Amino acid sequence: MPVPKRKRSRTRRDKRFANKGIIPQTFAHCPSCSKPCVPHVVCQFCGHYKGVQVVKVRVKKAEAGPKDAILASVKK
């Protein structure tokens, strides 16, 4: 009967269960801006929850794309 040559170290044995507790996070798409967001939580991109604006969201200048910069310059 085949027998393992050496005892598996604690570290090597425990590595098998290292990822057991990791649960992939579920996400849904926001109905107003259709970006991926956590369900049952206010959308971090547009501040909507159940179709109602709950939180005002500021857009940082670094995050705003070149299209927003053009729009801002036209408005002035």
In the complex, the smallest distance separating the C-beta of residue 42 from Zn ion, rounded to whole angstroms, is 9
Beta strands in 1-76 (DSSP E): 28-29, 36-37, 48-49, 52-53
Rule CB under 5 A: is residue 41 a binding residue for Zn ion? no
Total number of residues that touch Zn ion (CB under 5 A):
6
Rule CB under 5 A: is residue 42 a binding residue for Zn ion? no
Positive or negative CA dihedral for 7, 12, 16, 20?
Answer: positive
* Closer to Zn ion by Cβ: residue 30 or 62: 30
Q: Copy the structure tokens of residue 25.
A: 């996070």
Rule CB under 5 A: is residue 30 a binding residue for Zn ion? yes
